[in-house]
Amino acid sequence: MTVLDSLKNRSSVLVSGAVSFAVVIEGMRLAAGEPLVQPQTDLGVVIGAAMVALYFVIADTRGGGR
């Protein structure tokens, strides 16, 4: 399985996870009265999402996919 095949197969999980996380974190910021955009924290979230995608790719390419 190639990297692109892995990302295509896992795209729904990655997108739904990222969207739900974004909704929760923005809701918490809104409720706390904090700014909705916080560059340092948001960069950490993007890095975390990339690490999850990398984990899926490594697991799929090593294990032969699902």
pLDDT at site 64: 61
pLDDT at site 50: 93
Backbone CA torsion sign across 25, 31, 32, 35? positive
pLDDT at site 30: 96
pLDDT at site 62: 87
The tens digit of pLDDT for each residue in 27-63 reads 999 999 999 999 998 999 899 999 999 999 999 988 7
Q: What angle do CA 17, 22, 25 make, to 5 degrees?
A: 120
Helix 39-63 / helix 3-32 crossing angle, nearest 10 deg: 150
pTM beyond 0.85, yes or no:
no
- Three-state SS for 20? helix
Q: Which two tokens stand for residue 53?
A: 């995608």
